[in-house]
Chain A
């Protein structure tokens, strides 16, 4: 099973700052890496798929990069509504099995 490790566990920043979140896989996941945002009491929302493609309706301040085992989610300038928990997710080759990272909590400093 591929394990995804996110860092840091908690990131404390102020609105307007740049956020960089990391996701490392225990083995290569090619580019089948997605990122989600989850706010308290809400369902997750897809932000990025295939490592770098923004999902429909996602603002341009969110970007994803990486391949193989190391991936990054960048939020260029934090808005108040961006403070939430972020998860990365991958799909294994076949049969499909999906795993998530443990999450990074982005909190207001």
Chain B
């Protein structure tokens, strides 16, 4: 079945770095754009980044631009999010999600928790 599984979350100090991964299965990963969406504890959803199916274009929320990098390895069916210069306000559950025609997110992973704290 279609599945997305995130990993790589944890506790990191302010200013530190972390790389998240999202393993995809059950669909042709290389044919679809992919997103990262996050949710701070007890808060709503915030879109973070999007990468096109072939990695040719990448888009970011203003809140993470210049600090986060989205990438993918289609040979490994894996999506990544490199997070640098982390701040307390980056603390959240990070979800990867499959793109639906640039308009919505139709498949979601279970999420991985990132905590930025000293």
Q: Report A's interface with B, CB cutoff 8 A.
A: 32, 34, 36, 38, 42-46, 49-50, 55-56, 87, 89, 91, 95-103
Contact = CB atoms under 8 A, between A and B. Distances in A.
B104 A49 contact: yes
B107 to A, nearest CB: 8
27 contacts: A32-B103, A34-B105, A36-B105, A43-B95, A43-B108, A43-B109, A43-B110, A44-B95, A44-B105, A49-B103, A49-B104, A49-B106, A50-B104, A89-B45, A89-B47, A89-B105, A91-B102, A91-B103, A91-B104, A95-B59, A96-B59, A96-B102, A97-B61, A98-B50, A100-B44, A100-B45, A103-B45
A45 B108 CA distance: 7
A36 B105 CA distance: 9
A34 B104 contact: yes
Interface centre among B46, B104, B106, B107 (most CB of A within 10 A): B104
B19 to A, nearest CB: 21
Contact of B106 (A46, A87, A102, A103): A46
Contacts of A100: 44-47
Contacts, number: 60
Interface string B99-118: 01011111111110000000
A90 to B, nearest CB: 9
Contact of A96 (B45, B50, B95, B111): B50
A46 B105 contact: yes
Contacts of B104: 34, 46, 49-50, 89, 91
Interface in B41-82: 44-47, 50, 59, 61
Contact of B59 (A44, A50, A97, A99): A97
A49 B56 CA distance: 25
Closest A-B pairs by Cβ, 3 of them = A98-B47, A34-B104, A43-B108
B45 A87 contact: yes
